[in-house]
Amino acid sequence: MLFDRRPQPDPVGPGQESVWDYPRPPRAERVPRRAELWHGGTLVAASDDLVRVLETSHPPTWYLPRAAFTDGVLVPGEHRTFCEWKGVAHYCDVRVPGVPPLTDVAWWYPRPDARYPELTDRVAVYVAPFERITLDGETVRPQPGGFYGGWVTDEVVGPFKGGPGSRGW
């Protein structure tokens, strides 16, 4: 079957990581990096205390402390999803006065699986709906396809799950 075929990893340059070297099941690790999230000209979250989740074929998904978000910006919603590794995710909107809200763009695991205690009280976001997200000053690009929440930067190479033909990786 074509969709079961592992793609050829892109070449890795100096200072880069291949998502094909990431583990399955995923690994969560705390890293001292700087993330800033902007919506409607407003800095809605910033932190130097991040957790990244690494999973084969995915760019890292980055989690910020909930306390890194401006008070009142995160509005809980009803949407839920289930991750076979991390558990039940609860979604929320990002709301900034005077601009349209970003619906179901952030999620957290109120009770993450015991294998992922680093995710307790942390929030991840989809990149595309935001005005800008930066990681250590670099503008982040969204993982292809819109379903997954990985952050693409120059330090990771793919190909990445989510794009055309990647079903089943």
pLDDT tens, 91-117?
A: 999 999 999 999 999 999 999 999 999
Q: Is the pLDDT of residue 2 over 50?
A: no
% of the chain beyond a pLDDT of 70: 98
What is the predicted pLDDT for the residue at 21?
Answer: 97
Q: Is the pLDDT of residue 3 over 70?
A: no
Would the pTM of this model clear 0.75, i.e. be above it? yes
3-state secondary structure of 142: strand
Mean of per-residue pLDDT scores for the chain: 95
- Distance separating alpha carbons of residues 71 and 82, to the nearest angstrom: 27
- Distance separating alpha carbons of residues 121 and 101, to the nearest angstrom: 22
